[in-house]
Amino acid sequence: MKLRAGSTARGLVAVLAALGVAVSVSGCGATVPGSAHPAGSGTGSSVNTNFDKLLRECDVVSMDQIGSAVGDGAFASPSFYGAVCMWDVISAPGGSAMVTLNWYEVGSLNNEKTNNDKLGYLTNNITVQGQRALQTHRPNDPDSCGVSASAADTGVIGWWINYRPGSSHPDPCVGAQKLVELTLNLAR
């Protein structure tokens, strides 16, 4: 059977039209009850459209304290504030390091342990300020370490230190644990 260009084009148009109907029917074009309001016009007392405290967890430990935890005389500068907070640390023993803070408002150490196991990370239970915490290593990576603990109110906090691979540096777990201790002290 030989297809003509015109019938192929008509067939393609029919298929595309059917896809368009399927997308509209699946909810993309659905109308929901209510009315649109300009940003910031909410009336509820719990509505806060002033985001002045957004990402304040990135300031829970000072840059001087981060630098000190990584290495004497180290200088920390922020490199990313978002879902996680990150700093580049210069003049650390070994030259440089990256430090990361994660703060999950909903989470648990058991969940962190489960995820670490799925990733193939090595996780040990340790104690930080009298409470259970996790010390985490990636396999065959002596240049990095993370420590996670239950946050003071809810959720989980964690600090990772990643030194430049192959450099001479202190134990990254010692610095990560120090940062967790500082965070828990400030949060109480």
Total domains present in the chain: 1
pLDDT at 21 over 80: no
CATH of the domain at 135: 3.40.1000
According to the model, what pLDDT value does residue 54 have? 52
Could you tell me if residue 178 is inside a domain? yes
- Show Cβ contacts of residue 162 under 8 Å, excluding neighbours closer than 6 positions: 97, 98, 99, 100, 143, 144, 172
Q: Looking at the domain assignment, is residue 162 inside a domain?
A: yes
- For residue 144, what are the domain limits? 60-187
Choose between 167 and 119: higher pLDDT. Answer: 119
DSSP state of 143: T
pLDDT band at 148 (very low <50, low <70, confident <90, very high): very high
Q: Which of 157, 53, 51 is nearest to 112 (CA)?
A: 157
Q: Does residue 98 fall inside a structural domain?
A: yes
The identity of residue 112, as a single letter, is E
- Which of 19-23, 62-66, 159-163 is predicted with the least confidence, judged by mean pLDDT? 19-23
Q: Is 61 left (phi over 0), alpha (psi -120 to 50) or beta?
A: beta
> Exposed/middle/buried for 180, CB within 10 Å: 0-12, 13-18, 19+?
buried
CA–CA gap between residue 187 and residue 117 (Å, rounded): 28
- pLDDT one-digit tens code per residue, 74-106: 888 888 877 789 999 987 666 689 999 998 888
Whether 31 is in a domain gets the answer no
Query: Is residue 176, in this structure, part of any structural domain at all?
Result: yes
**Residues found in the chain:** 188
Q: What is the DSSP letter of 152?
A: S
